[in-house]
Amino acid sequence: MARTRKKDDRNLALIDALATLERDRGMPADTIFEALEAALGAAYPKTPGVTATHARIEIDRASGEIRVYEQEVNEDEETGEVEVLSENYVETPPELGRIAAQTAKHVIHQKLREAERQMAFEEYEDRTGEIVTGIVEQHDPRFVILNLGKAEAIMPYSEQIPRERYEIGDRVRAYIVEVREGRGPTIVVSRSHPGLVRKLFEIEVPEIQDGLVEIKAISREAGHRTKLAVASNDPNIDPVGACVGPKGTRVRAVVNELRGEKIDVVAFTDDPGRMISEALQPARVRGVSIDPETKTATVIVADRELSLAIGKEGQNARLAARLTGWRIDIKSESQRAAGEAAGGAFEPTAEGKRGRREAAVNEEGSSPSS
């Protein structure tokens, strides 16, 4: 009698535990019951004294009582499919009760982990394109792991800012580029994506949040320089001034977050010539000649501005071309004069050749506002 009471108490304790899980963690008790029945069905043939090879286990949802039905089956050797021919109720072996207690712990732990992974996936699956803050948990040359609280994110080497160092415990802001479902959610984040700059400005500039200022295009070489084209939807608001902020406070906050990356904020315009002139800042452009058919622009700058317009290793011209979507050919005034004097047979200097080669790039790598 005492043994029966002990068994009943153990079964009722399991029922209470499952009810608590369902109430506090939102995990359906039936999900655990079904997993536990399947696990016990697989364990039953290995129970001492049992000769059956297959069995179906039922657990009473109210009392926790375990019922065993030994099965006679026909198994297809080629497909592995099992056909149940008959079932016979048998008394539950005492050993199965002990196995059930151990199995229940394992099943509950496993189902909790699965539920947590699913909840994490559901929380982040619609957050692609958002910024998250995480703590650096692990890093090596291939990737950085960020602890987001309920989930972890991975930042591959290709998504890191070149030469940016990460230490265990650092708080890092990153941009979610992808969320994949597998054994757990795989959240891929980036510090090099142009979207990170866009979101940082949205956080810092209230006019962008309110829709009064709009980011039209971004071109970025992470860790070095970003160009941002902005427009105003209110004639009384200067979009560049709004993004720069009083005494440069807003743009400085973004620069600090990107650890010193240079940012050029320019005014967007539908006029290609003016847009190209804006995009080549900080260089001052003397004139722009455009060819809409080939979408190529020839830009004239003062001799002393040529290196500034091209930028180090062609970076300024390359970013301007990506920002505008035009191929840009930069010439100094003296180079243009030499070309005109030769009757159009323009032969640039070595610096000019390098500038044209670096500047004449496609739109590849640009980040339009759409």
- Tell me the one-letter amino acid at 187: I
Which among 268, 256, 369, 370 has a CA at the least distance from the CA of 320? 268
Tell me which DSSP letter residue 173 carries: E
- For residue 298, the cross-strand partners are 289, 329
The H or E element containing residue 343 is none
Specify the pTM: 0.68
Residue with tokens 């732990």: 109
Give the model's pLDDT for residue 154: 93
- Sort strands 262-267 and 225-232 into parallel, antiparallel or unpaired: parallel
Provide CB contacts within 8 A for 84, sequence distance 6+. Answer: 54, 71, 72, 73
Write out the two tokens for 143: 């990737």
* Distance of alpha carbon 289 from alpha carbon 296, whole angstroms: 9
> Which domains are assigned to the chain?
2-124 (3.30.1480.10), 131-192 (2.40.50.140), 196-268 (3.30.300.20), 272-370 (3.30.300.20)
Handedness of CA 271, 277, 278, 284 (dihedral sign): negative
Q: What is the pLDDT of residue 31?
A: 79
pLDDT value, residue 25: 67
Q: At what angle do helices 94-124 and 29-43 cross, to 10 degrees?
A: 130
- Burial group, residue 187, by CB count within 10 angstroms (0-12, 13-18, 19+): buried
Consecutive H or E run containing 366:
strand 366-368
pLDDT for residue 193: 96
Compute the distance between CA of residue 71 and CA of residue 48 in angstroms, rounded to an integer.
17
How many H helices and E strands in the chain? Answer: 12, 15
Give the list of residues 6+ apart from residue 340 with CB closer than 8 angstroms, or none: none
Cα separation, 236 vs 242, whole angstroms: 11
| Sign of the torsion angle spanned by Cα atoms 87, 91, 92, 95 | negative
Three-state DSSP state, 29: helix
Strand partners, 174: 132
What does the pLDDT read at residue 346?
A: 40
Pairwise CA distance, residues 111 & 104, whole Å: 10
Residues 6+ apart with CB under 8 A from 188: 153, 154, 155, 156, 159, 176, 177, 178, 179, 180
pLDDT block averages, 10 residues each, the chain of length 370:
49 72 72 82 83 87 85 81 86 78 74 74 86 93 89 92 92 93 81 97 96 97 96 96 96 96 96 95 92 93 93 95 95 83 45 44 43
